[in-house]
C-alpha cells in the first residue's frame, strides 16, 4: 500500500504503472477528465504491453476529454482499447490493473494531475486488494459502470460534435458557455445514478462473477 501524493512525497502516478513482463489480465479505468500528453502514459503503457484497456470517461459540453485523446482512443480500438463516455456526472479516478494492483485517488488523465498538481491517492498491490476484500468491490464498481444505459461508446460522430462545441465555446467566451453551448449538444443531460442503487446487489455480483468466468474461459 502506497500513498501517491505527487510532489509532496515524490510518489507520482507514473510509479504505479506495471513494468514490461508484469502479469496483467486487463486494465479497467474510470477517469473523468483527460488530455493527450506524452507525460501521461497510461494509454502508452497499455499499448506497449498489449494490455486490453476498458476506460470510462466524462462527456459534456465543456469537452472534458481533449479531442486528441478521444481520437487516439478511437484509433486504437483495433489494439484492444475501448472507451465509453458517461455524460455529466462522471467524476471518479480509479485504475485497476487486474492481477497487478489498483490506484484510487484524485488524479485525472492530465499532465497537471500526473506531475504538478497536489493530488492524493492510494496504490494497492493485488495481494493487498485480495487481503482487504477490495476485488469484489472493484468488480461491483466497474459492473455498475457497464450497467449505466446512458453510457455512450466513443465514435467519430461524438468526436466531431465535441470539436464543434469546443469551437462554439471559444467563439462565445467562457461566461456564455452554460446555456448556449448546452443547447447544441445532442447527448441528453444525465442527472445521476440514484436509480441504479435500487438494483439488486446480488444480481450485480452474479453478473460480475459470470463475466470473470467468461474471461477466464477465453
* pLDDT at site 6: 93
Name the residue with higher pLDDT: 97 or 169.
97
**Total domains in the fold of the chain:** 1
- Residues of the chain with pLDDT > 70, as a percent, come to 86
What is the number of other CB atoms lying within 10 angstroms of the CB of residue 89?
Answer: 16
Question: 102: closest CA among 137, 70, 76?
Answer: 137
Name the residue with higher pLDDT: 9 or 21.
9
Q: How confident is the model at residue 202 (pLDDT cuts 50, 70, 90)?
A: very low
CATH number at residue 145: 3.30.870.10
CB 166 within 8 A of CB 61: no
With cell 465555446, the residue in question is 169
**Residue 159 pLDDT > 50, yes or no?**
yes
* pLDDT at site 217: 46
CB 73 within 8 A of CB 43: yes
- What is the domain range of residue 98? 2-217
Q: Please, which residues have CB within 8 angstroms of residue 25's CB and are 6 or more apart in sequence?
A: 98, 99, 215
pLDDT in tens, 48-93: 999 999 999 999 988 999 999 999 999 999 999 999 999 999 999 9
Amino acid at each position: 500500500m502506497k500513498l501517491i501524493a505527487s510532489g509532496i512525497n515524490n510518489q507520482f502516478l507514473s510509479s504505479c504503472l506495471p513494468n514490461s513482463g508484469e502479469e496483467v489480465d486487463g486494465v479497467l479505468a474510470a477517469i473523468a477528465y483527460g488530455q493527450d500528453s506524452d507525460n501521461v502514459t497510461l494509454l502508452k503503457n497499455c499499448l506497449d504491453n498489449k494490455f486490453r484497456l476498458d476506460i470510462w470517461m466524462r462527456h459534456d459540453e465543456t469537452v472534458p476529454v481533449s479531442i486528441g485523446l478521444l481520437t487516439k482512443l478511437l484509433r486504437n480500438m483495433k489494439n484492444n482499447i475501448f472507451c465509453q463516455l458517461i455524460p455529466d456526472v462522471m467524476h471518479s479516478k480509479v485504475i485497476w490493473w487486474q492481477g497487478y494492483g489498483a490506484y484510487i485517488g484524485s488524479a485525472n488523465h492530465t499532465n497537471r494531475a500526473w506531475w504538478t498538481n497536489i493530488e492524493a491517492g492510494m496504490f494497492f498491490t493485488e495481494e493487498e486488494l485480495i487481503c482487504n476484500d477490495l476485488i469484489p468491490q472493484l468488480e461491483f464498481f466497474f459492473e455498475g459502470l457497464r450497467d449505466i444505459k446512458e453510457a455512450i461508446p466513443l465514435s467519430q460522430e461524438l468526436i466531431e460534435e465535441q470539436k464543434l462545441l469546443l469551437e462554439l465555446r471559444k467563439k462565445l467566451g467562457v461566461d456564455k458557455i452554460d446555456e448556449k453551448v448546452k443547447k447544441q449538444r445532442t447527448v441528453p443531460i444525465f442527472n445521476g445514478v440514484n436509480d441504479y442503487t435500487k438494483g439488486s446487489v446480488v444480481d450485480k455480483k452474479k453478473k460480475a462473477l459470470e463475466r470473470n468466468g467468461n474471461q477466464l474461459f477465453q
